[in-house]
Amino acid sequence: MSRLRHWAAGSYLKTGLLILVALFLVIQLVPYGRDHANPPVTRQARFDSARTEQLFTDSCNACHSNLTSWPPESVIAPFSWLIQHDVDDGRGVLNLSEWNGFQPAAGRVAEAISGGEMPPLQYTLLHPGARLSGSDKQELIDGLASTFQQDPPGR
């Protein structure tokens, strides 16, 4: 009887694994998350300093501009879905490549950075260079505040 249970457990494991592989292959057919065309830059924000620009580029640019560098995993579902969602959301609330338009979250930037919302954990886990120290956060907050004051969006 013990052999029969062992064989059945192995059979269920193999069947489960085959189902997971088949599901993984089927979800690759979903087209969402594969449109990696970056829209044109209509007007780039003019940063107050090279340091602010560098901090923004390292930690924010991938989702908050039209200059996204799409990583290799961005074509493999379900990772592609998560990445596309984050980029679409990021561009929707603050996009420094479309500075001639309304920027809904421009007033919340300092709060999002100091509160640890930005850059998000899922991004910093895969991009260690995007992690900001406390002093980097403050520099970025101050630099973006100065940038927004000197070059307000929507002009």
Confidence of residue 89 (pLDDT cuts 50, 70, 90): very high
Burial class of residue 115 in the structure, from the number of CB atoms within 10 Å of its CB (0-12 exposed, 13-18 middle, 19+ buried): exposed
- Rounded Cα distance between 144 and 45, Å, is 10
Does residue 134 fall inside a structural domain?
yes
Q: How many residues are recorded in the chain?
A: 155
Sign for the pseudo-dihedral over CA of 56, 57, 59, 64: positive
Residue 96 is assigned to a structural domain of this protein: yes
Work out the average pLDDT over 48-61: 97
Tell whether 39 is covered by a domain. no
Q: What is the mean pLDDT of the chain?
A: 91
User: Is position 30 within any domain?
Assistant: no
Backbone angles phi, psi at 43, to 5 degrees: -165, 120
The answer to whether residue 33 sits within a structural domain is no
- Return d(Cα 23, Cα 152) in angstroms, integer: 48
Q: Residue 4 pLDDT more than 80?
A: no
Q: Is residue 99 in some structural domain? A: yes
User: Residue 44 falls within a domain, yes or no?
Assistant: no
Question: What pLDDT, in 10s, does the model give residues 107-130?
Answer: 899 999 999 999 999 999 989 999
Q: What percent of the chain has pLDDT over 70?
A: 94
Most confidently modeled of 21-25, 48-52, 74-78?
48-52
pLDDT of 81 > 90? The answer is: yes
Q: How sure is the predictor about 77, in pLDDT bands with cuts at 50, 70 and 90?
A: very high
91 in a structural domain: yes
Where b means 16+ CB within 10 Å and e means fewer, 83-109 reads bbebbeebbeebbbbbbeeebeebeeb
Q: In this predicted structure, what is the pLDDT of residue 13?
A: 85
How many structural domains are present in the chain?
1
Radius of gyration of the chain (CA): 21
What is the residue type of 137? K
What's the pTM? 0.83
SS3 for 11? helix
Q: Which domain holds residue 138?
A: 50-150
138 token code pair: 């403050």
pLDDT in tens, 11-42: 888 888 999 999 998 989 888 887 888 999 99
Nearest-CA neighbor of 155 among 13, 42, 8? Answer: 42
pLDDT in the model for residue 1 = 54
